[in-house]
Structure formats: C-alpha cells, structure tokens
C-alpha cells in the first residue's frame, strides 16, 4: 500500500511540473537606439531624484509633498499592511489551537458525559501545504511592495508632467498676450494706412481675424491652467485652487544629460518587472498548494478536564485524559484534480504576463530614448531659427530707427517672432515630456526618501 501511495505521489509531482516555451528571453546588452545625452552610469536609479537636476524648488516641493500625501500612495501602503497580515496568518498556522468546553452534554457519541469542563488543544496540519502557503504569502507581499514602488513612480511622473504643463501654459498665455498686443498695433497702423488708401482692406480684415483667433486661444489656455492647477492639487490630496508658482517656464533648462543604465539593470530595477516576477513565483507556489490536497494530513488532539461522576450527571468529579493522533491519507479526491489544473493555468498565465512586461520595458525605453533624441534635436533646430529671426528683427529695428523701413514692416517682423516663440514654447514642453517619460521607464527616483512598511 505504501508503495502504491508513493507511486501516486510521484506521478502527481511529475504532472505538476510547469512546462513553458523553450524560447529564451534574450535581453540586449545595449539599447538599440542612440541618444547623445544618455549616459550609462553606476548610479542606483531607484534612489536618484532626477527632477532635482532642474534646480526648481517648486518642483522639488510638489514631488516631496505628493510622495507623502497622495492617496494612491496611501492605498498602496495599506495593501502592504494587508499582505503582511496574510503572511502572519499563514505563519501562525504552525501554532496549535486551544479551545475550552464548559456545559452539559447527553450525546451518546460522547458517552453521556453530563456536565463537563475541558481544555482541548488540537493541531491539524498538512506540512507541505503549510510550507507552500507560506512561500506564496511571502511572494505576494513582495509583489505588493513592488506595486507600491510602481505607484510612487507614477505619482512622480504625473506631478512632473502636470507641473511642466502648467508652467508651459502660463508662458504660452504671456506669449499670446504679447502677440495680441503686437497684432493690435499692426491693426491700428493698417487701419490708418487703409483710410489713406495705402493698405488693402483684405489684409486689414485678415489681421483682425488673426487677433480674434489669438484671443480665443487665450481662453483655452486659461482653462488649461485651471485644469493643471487642480490636477496638481488632486495629486497632493488638496482642494482645488490657484498655485503660487513664480518660476518661469523659460528659465527651465531642458538640455539635461539623462542618467541611465544598461537594459539588464533597468529590468532588475523596474517595479512592474519585480511585481510580475513575484506574482509568477506565487503562482508557482499555488501549484504546490493544489497538489498538497493529495498528501496526508496530521491531526493531533487531546482533552483534559472533568466530566460528571455518573452518566448524564450534574456534578463534576471524573477526570478525563483523551488523546488523538490520526494520519489522514486521501485515496480519492477528484475535485483536487481541477484545483491542480487551475493552478497550473494561472501559473502559465503569470509566466506570459512576466514575458509581456519584459517586452514592454524594452519597447518603452527604446521608444523614449528615440523620442528624447529627436525631440531634443527638433527643439534645438527651432531655437536656432528663433535666434536667427530675433537677430533679423534687431537688424530691422535698426533700419526702422534710421528711417529705412516703415513701422508696419517692423511690427510684422515682431509678429513673426511672437508666433515662433509660441512654437518654441510648445516644442520645449514636448521635449520635457520625453524626459519625464524616459525617467519613468528607467525606473528612476521611486525609492527616493521611501520608507515602505517592512
């Protein structure tokens, strides 16, 4: 019989082995795209506060407050506490239970004890199941901590993105106002020249139309400022309102070197990769839990106390000393086959989820590096164009002061400069967004000042 049971256990052990595709998960040694401002360093990126490179006290303050006050971070901490409680529950299953009984019983299967007063320690355990449940709880706790770090990473990204967007919108509102002022001057001059027959009415109407469009854009930008302010307040767990931020967007230096690392290091640091790995390990432990239903269970118990002196009596006086030691061996438990199949399916799903997460990490970082390189070059190109146009405007201003060109021509050149400044502002925002997204995908800064529950 023992040999049959052993063969049965061996068969289920072999059947529970998880088979995954033999295709290896190859990780490149270098990133497949080049970014002239990207450098591989030994910096521990999770602890690297990349946003401090901008030397902006407002941004530093917002991120510090957000990492403490944000509700998503608080929820993630609560999930860690719940996972810790689950692990403690499993660990305490090693300790026997003790119950007390006091009362009266005339049940025949208890031997008509009458009144009784007993203490009954009991211990029922499937050792293999207990070990696997403890392993699974540990993996789930690690996965929950990784989720917490992922939330912090997302909060940093959202605060930085909304801050840069807010500052860009404030700058754009100023630039639109300057453009509207210059267009008003242009319309005034054109109106006077039109009345003297020196200017076409169609050009005058086009200038008025452009001014109306600029004023309509100002309304949209004003709304965008309100939205970005309230988004920041929400991320800080605050009520809506204005933000007293005095730093100008034009003062932000977006030409930063990107502190990065090799692909393998990034994969090891990414919270979503850590979470996927621990979930895969937990699912693998789940196979062991499902298989444990085919293994013996040990049941130990004893009873100490007193019962009635006579059957169905009402006076205590007879001491009892009951002991029990039972090894429960399951010969047929068909439903456990379904549990085992379910566990193996969940394990396979977690493996593919891990693989998918790995592919996404490599894809996203590669895309971000390419975007940062190209958007930085585009920003440099348009800033060069702005400098050239500003130089041309200064020359025209000198010509105007000497009476060589008219005031109308000078204002027209100033309008072109205003329009280009608005475009530069937008390109700078888009380039800053590539920095924010790149650092998020590089998993930088999420462990800055972090004191996650242990």
State yes or no: pLDDT of 161 exceeds 90: yes
The answer as to whether 133 is a domain residue is yes
Domain with residue 393: its CATH number is: 1.20.1600.10
Higher pLDDT, 100 or 176: 176
For residues 50 and 59, is the Cβ–Cβ distance under 8 A? no
State yes or no: pLDDT of 11 exceeds 80: no
pLDDT tens-digit readout, 200-224:
788 888 889 999 999 999 999 999 9
Pairing of strands 114-125, 297-308: antiparallel
For residues 321 and 119, is the Cβ–Cβ distance under 8 A? no
Give pLDDT, residue 14.
40
Assigned token pair, 363: 């894809």
Sign of CA dihedral 234, 236, 240, 244: negative
- The rounded distance, in Å, linking the Cα atoms of 158 and 61 is 14
* Window from 15-19, 82-86, 223-227, 382-386 with minimum mean pLDDT: 15-19
With tokens 């917490």, the residue in question is 148
* Window from 27-31, 363-367, 421-425 with minimum mean pLDDT: 27-31
State yes or no: pLDDT of 86 exceeds 80: yes
Helix axes 335-401, 407-441, angle to 10 degrees: 160
The answer as to whether 167 is a domain residue is yes
* Window from 46-60, 287-301, 302-316, 370-384 with minimum mean pLDDT: 302-316
φ, ψ (nearest 5 deg) of residue 39: -130, 135
The answer as to whether 271 is a domain residue is yes
Give pLDDT, residue 452.
55
Give pLDDT, residue 23.
66
Percentage of the chain exceeding pLDDT 90: 61
Q: What is the mean pLDDT of residues 342-363?
A: 94
State yes or no: pLDDT of 127 exceeds 90: no
The answer as to whether 113 is a domain residue is no
For residues 205 and 132, is the Cβ–Cβ distance under 8 A? no
Residue 115 burial (CB count, 10 A)? 18
Measured CA angle at 174 (ends 170, 179), to 5 deg: 145
Give every CB contact of residue 328 below 8 A, 6+ residues apart in sequence. 296, 297, 298, 299
Q: What is the mean pLDDT of residues 130-134?
A: 91
Give pLDDT, residue 7.
39
Give pLDDT, residue 177.
97
pLDDT tens-digit readout, 164-211:
999 999 999 999 999 999 999 999 988 888 888 777 788 888 889 999
The answer as to whether 386 is a domain residue is yes
Residue 105 burial (CB count, 10 A)? 17
The answer as to whether 218 is a domain residue is yes
291 exposed, middle or buried (CB, 10 Å; 0-12, 13-18, 19+)?
Answer: buried
Give every CB contact of residue 269 below 8 A, 6+ residues apart in sequence. 45, 46, 261, 442, 443
pLDDT tens-digit readout, 30-81:
999 988 999 988 889 999 999 999 999 999 999 999 999 999 999 999 999 9
Of 47, 74, 66, 25, residue with least CA distance to 442: 47
**Count of structural domains, the chain:** 1
| Mean pLDDT for the chain overall | 88
Of 403, 271, 425, 372, residue with least CA distance to 39: 372
Assigned token pair, 442: 């590089």
pLDDT tens-digit readout, 278-299:
999 999 999 999 988 888 888 8
The answer as to whether 274 is a domain residue is yes
Give pLDDT, residue 135.
93
Q: Between the ranges 93-102, 118-127, 401-410, 413-422, where is the mean pLDDT highest?
A: 413-422
For residues 207 and 412, is the Cβ–Cβ distance under 8 A? no
Model confidence, pTM: 0.88
- Domain of residue 39: give its range: 25-93+128-294+334-441
Residue 125's pLDDT band (cuts 50, 70, 90): confident
Higher pLDDT, 194 or 137: 137
Sign of CA dihedral 149, 155, 158, 159: negative
Give pLDDT, residue 5.
42
The answer as to whether 307 is a domain residue is no
């Amino acid at each position: 019989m023992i040999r049959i049971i052993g063969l049965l256990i061996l068969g289920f052990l072999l059947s529970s082995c998880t088979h995954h595709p033999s295709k290896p998960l190859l990780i490149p040694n270098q990133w497949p795209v080049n970014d002239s401002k990207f450098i591989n360093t030994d910096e521990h990126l999770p602890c690297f506060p990349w946003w401090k490179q901008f030397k902006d006290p407002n941004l530093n303050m917002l991120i510090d407050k957000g990492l403490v006050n944000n509700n998503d971070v608080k929820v993630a901490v609560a999930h860690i506490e719940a996972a810790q409680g689950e692990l403690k529950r499993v660990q305490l299953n090693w300790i026997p239970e003790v119950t007390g009984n006091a009362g009266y019983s005339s049940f025949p299967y208890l031997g008509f004890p009458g009144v009784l007063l007993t203490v009954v320690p009991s211990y029922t355990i499937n050792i293999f199941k207990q070990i696997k449940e403890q392993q699974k709880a540990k993996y789930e706790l690690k996965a929950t901590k990784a989720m917490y770090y992922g939330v912090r990473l997302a909060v940093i990204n959202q605060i930085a993105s909304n801050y840069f967007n807010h500052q860009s919108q404030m700058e754009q509102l100023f630039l639109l106002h300057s453009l509207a002022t210059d267009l008003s001057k242009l319309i005034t001059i054109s109106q006077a020249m039109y009345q003297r027959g020196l200017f076409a009415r169609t050009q005058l109407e086009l200038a008025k139309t452009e001014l109306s469009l600029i004023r309509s854009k100002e309304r949209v930008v004003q709304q965008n400022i309100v939205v970005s302010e309230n988004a920041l307040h929400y991320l800080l767990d605050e009520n809506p309102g204005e933000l007293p931020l005095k730093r100008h967007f034009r003062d932000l230096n977006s030409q930063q070197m990107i502190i990065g690392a090799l692909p393998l290091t990034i994969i090891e640091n990414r919270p979503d990769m850590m979470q996927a790995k621990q979930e895969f390990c937990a699912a693998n432990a789940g196979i062991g839990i499902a298989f444990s239903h085919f293994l013996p269970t040990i049941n130990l118990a004893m009873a100490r106390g007193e019962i009635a002196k006579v059957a169905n009596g009402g006076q205590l006086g007879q001491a009892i000393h009951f002991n029990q030691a039972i090894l429960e061996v399951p010969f047929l438990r068909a439903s456990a086959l379904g549990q085992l199949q379910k566990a193996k399916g969940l394990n396979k799903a977690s493996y593919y989820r891990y693989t998918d997460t790995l592919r996404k990490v490599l894809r996203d970082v590669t895309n971000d590096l390419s975007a940062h390189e190209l958007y930085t070059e585009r920003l440099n190109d348009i800033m060069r164009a702005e400098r050239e146009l500003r130089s041309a405007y200064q020359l025209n201003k000198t010509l105007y002061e000497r009476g060589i060109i008219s005031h109308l021509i000078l204002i027209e050149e100033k309008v072109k400069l205003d329009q280009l400044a608005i475009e530069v502002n937008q390109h700078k925002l888009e380039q800053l967004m590539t920095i924010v997204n790149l650092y998020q995908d590089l998993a930088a800064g999420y462990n800055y000042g972090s004191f996650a529950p242990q």
